[in-house]
């Protein structure tokens, strides 16, 4: 016999405007259950969790909490006002008999001292304080809304262990697939206002969802066919018999009403990245770069090469310098030492984690068009802004909605929509997965996989890194960074551990043993560059600069819109010369890269 629920929501109904947000949703939580609450952005997940916490009153339905049961809720935007410091805020969540030391322990684990003033906290610090308050009393029921947002990888893995050791029942909203898989054992899918439950882990969600939607399509098709048969009877059968069958007429009216009330599955996000001209083979090369702030080395003697088509992930704890390293590799920030060489013909589009590129006063349509008319240009083709908005799940009536009124997920989708409409051959993504729902994440991953250019991504999402990255640059402590082939799991397999917190950073990593170590007492033989190769290496940079200048001049000539009609011969000649220059440049870059690798091998 199933254990009685300690939290029960039945037939929850809530509406904003004409379309109901919740229309008969249910949620049952028994002692020790671990539930994943899944649904698209805007489906009402956070609202249902607020109703479960008793913070929002529904229009209809009932809420029951077992008497004496303790419940704690982590909201996305906690309010710490009215408390002198963070510790007082966390301790206010404790109940009689709770261990007061636990508040200090949780704050320390989450990178806070407790002395911070609420007014001076960043959004991420406020979320971590709220997480400490929710966990401190070890409640009977934990309701967590996106607990991994603003947490780095060490904190996420610590949180997995902390919640795993608790006896609390759990209802979890998260976009982090790996976190959902490890933390939950059952799923509640909120879709079009109602809930469905499956007593299996998150790994089975997509297969189950697709089966449900396919069954709905079959039932909708049967309903349409039945209506068509009844309408045919109405047109011909009634006239022939000169007598109406009142019951069948009423049934037809009921079928039509059923079809009107049927809420079809919401369309999917449609992303298409506007790709620019191909960049050179070499995108960026860092040679012994370093950067320090206030005497602390953030990057120390780091070298790497990024080749066209690479998908590079950068991982490390908060404060390690991920954004600093990213800025140096993209030419935004100059290193204190060493050198960064950028490739040719780079067209970079950046997605920043703070969404600072969005003007909060502009509407959705103005943000996408740049306040220029009502069209968006994607891959050289004009699109009406309303149609393009629909591709990213925005409603036509949201065209004038200001950015400041959008949810975090909507701002993320808007930033993606604007970035993907800009021609590029290099995408720079700083925490792109924040606030995105699972289906949008799936499509983002597909677009990155099909993208012909280069991608550099900073992320704490382990599953996302595994799915998109060809190599991962990981923080090793004290300003050291190491490049590993493969995704996040491949990096863990090579290092023997994941990303550690700054306070627990590993000692300098010993060089990995080569496949064929040299015999004891003998120095490994190194191949030296020949005089001819060294001369070629020295002269290639000047040749590449010359070819870049030639290509730029030819592109300028071809940019004349009237050239083809005015002087066809000149247009054809310039096009042919540009193709030769670009091919020669690519060949020179390949040769330079090959010789540079030989030089480094010779110098050890």
Q: DSSP E strands: which ranges in 82-140?
A: none
N-to-C CA span, the chain? 69
In order of 83, 88, 490, the CA distances from 117 in angstroms are 8, 10, 41
- Whether 601 and 527 have beta carbons less than 8 Å apart is answered as yes
Q: How many CB atoms lie within 10 A of CB 147?
A: 26
Residue 26, helix vs strand vs coil: strand
Burial 427-442 (b: 16+ CB within 10 A, else e): bbbbbbbbbbbbbbbb
Cα separation, 282 vs 599, in Å, equals 17
User: What is the DSSP code string of 462-480?
Assistant: HHHHHHH-SEEEEEEETTE
Cα separation, 235 vs 556, in Å, equals 68
Q: How many CB atoms lie within 10 A of CB 211?
A: 10
Cα separation, 231 vs 355, in Å, equals 53
Comparing C-alpha atoms, which of 449, 447, 475, 450 is closest to residue 460? 475
504: its two tokens: 């627990």
- Whether 77 and 118 have beta carbons less than 8 Å apart is answered as no
- Please report, in range form, the residues annotated as the binding site: 39-46, 316-323
Burial class, 515, CB count within 10 angstroms (exposed 0-12 / middle 13-18 / buried 19+): exposed
- Please report, in range form, the residues annotated as the binding site for ATP: 39-46, 316-323
Cα separation, 233 vs 338, in Å, equals 83
| Secondary-structure breakdown of the chain: helix, strand, coil percentages, each rounded to the nearest 5 | 40, 20, 35
70: its two tokens: 């303790």
In order of 527, 535, 536, 587, 592, the CA distances from 532 in angstroms are 14, 5, 6, 18, 13
Cα separation, 26 vs 196, in Å, equals 8
DSSP label of 56: S
Cα separation, 224 vs 255, in Å, equals 9
Cα separation, 324 vs 298, in Å, equals 8
DSSP label of 68: T
Cα separation, 22 vs 519, in Å, equals 72
Sign, CA dihedral 311-316-319-320, equals negative
Cα separation, 406 vs 401, in Å, equals 8
Which is it for strands 186-191 and 194-198: parallel, antiparallel or unpaired? antiparallel
Sign, CA dihedral 134-135-139-141, equals positive
- Whether 308 and 343 have beta carbons less than 8 Å apart is answered as yes
Instruction: Please list, in sequence order, all residues whose beta carbon lies within 8 angstroms of the beta carbon of residue 228, skipping any fewer than 6 positions away.
Output: none
């Amino acid at each position: 016999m199933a254990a009685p629920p300690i939290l029960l929501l039945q037939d929850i109904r809530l509406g904003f405007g004409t379309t109901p947000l919740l229309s008969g949703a249910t949620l049952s939580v028994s002692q020790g259950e671990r539930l994943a609450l899944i649904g698209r952005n805007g489906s009402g997940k956070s609202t249902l969790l607020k109703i479960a916490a008793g913070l929002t009153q529904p229009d209809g339905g009932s809420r029951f909490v077992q008497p004496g049961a303790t419940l704690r809720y982590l909201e996305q935007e906690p309010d710490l006002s009215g408390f002198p410091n963070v510790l007082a805020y966390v301790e206010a969540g404790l109940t009689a008999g709770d261990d007061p030391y636990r508040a200090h322990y949780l704050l320390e684990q989450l990178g806070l001292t407790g002395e911070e003033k609420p007014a001076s906290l960043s959004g991420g610090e406020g979320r971590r304080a709220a997480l400490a308050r929710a966990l401190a009393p070890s409640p009977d029921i934990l309701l967590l809304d996106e607990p991994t947002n603003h947490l780095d990888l060490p904190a996420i893995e610590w949180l997995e262990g902390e919640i795993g050791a608790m006896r609390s029942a759990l209802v979890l909203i998260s976009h982090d697939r790996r976190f959902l898989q490890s933390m939950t054992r059952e799923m509640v899918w909120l879709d079009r206002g109602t809930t469905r439950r499956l007593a299996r882990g998150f790994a089975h969600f997509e297969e189950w969802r697709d089966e449900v939607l396919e069954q709905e399509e079959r039932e909708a098709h049967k309903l349409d066919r039945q209506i068509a048969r009844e309408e045919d009877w109405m047109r011909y059968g009634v006239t022939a018999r000169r007598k109406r069958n009142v019951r069948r007429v009423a049934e037809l009216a009921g079928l039509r009403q059923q079809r009107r009330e049927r809420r079809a599955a919401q369309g999917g996000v449609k992303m298409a990245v506007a790709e620019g001209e191909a960049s050179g083979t070499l995108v960026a090369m860092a040679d012994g770069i370093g950067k320090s702030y206030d005497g602390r080395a953030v990057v120390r003697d780091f070298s790497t090469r990024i080749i066209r088509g690479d998908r590079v992930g950068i991982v490390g704890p908060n404060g390690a310098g991920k954004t600093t390293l990213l800025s140096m590799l993209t030419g935004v920030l100059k290193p204190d030492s060493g050198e960064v060489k950028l490739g040719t013909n780079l067209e970079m589009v950046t997605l920043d984690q703070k969404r600072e590129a969005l003007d909060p006063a502009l509407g959705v349509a103005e943000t996408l068009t740049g306040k220029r008319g009502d069209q968006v240009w994607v891959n050289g083709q004009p699109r009406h802004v309303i149609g393009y908005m629909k591709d990213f799940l925005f409603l036509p009536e949201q065209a004038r909605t200001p950015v400041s009124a959008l949810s975090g997920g909507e701002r993320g989708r808007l930033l993606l929509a604007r970035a993907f409409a800009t021609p590029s051959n290099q995408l720079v993504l700083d925490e792109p997965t924040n606030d995105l729902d699972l289906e949008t994440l799936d499509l983002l991953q597909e677009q990155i996989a099909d993208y012909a250019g280069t991608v550099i991504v900073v992320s704490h999402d382990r599953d996302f890194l595994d799915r998109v990255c060809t190599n991962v640059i990981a923080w090793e402590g004290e300003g050291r960074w190491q490049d590993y082939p493969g995704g996040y799991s491949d990096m863990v397999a090579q290092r023997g551990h994941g990303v550690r917190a700054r306070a627990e950073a590993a000692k300098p990593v010993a060089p990995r043993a080569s496949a064929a170590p040299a015999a004891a007492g003998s120095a490994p033989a190194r191949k030296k560059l020949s005089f001819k190769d060294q001369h070629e290496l020295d002269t290639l940079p000047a040749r590449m600069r010359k070819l870049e200048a030639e290509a730029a001049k030819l592109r300028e000539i071809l940019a004349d819109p009237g050239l083809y009609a005015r002087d066809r011969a000149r247009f054809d000649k310039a096009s042919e010369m540009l193709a030769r220059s670009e091919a020669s440049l690519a060949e020179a870059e390949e040769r330079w890269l090959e010789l540079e690798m030989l030089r480094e091998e010779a110098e050890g």
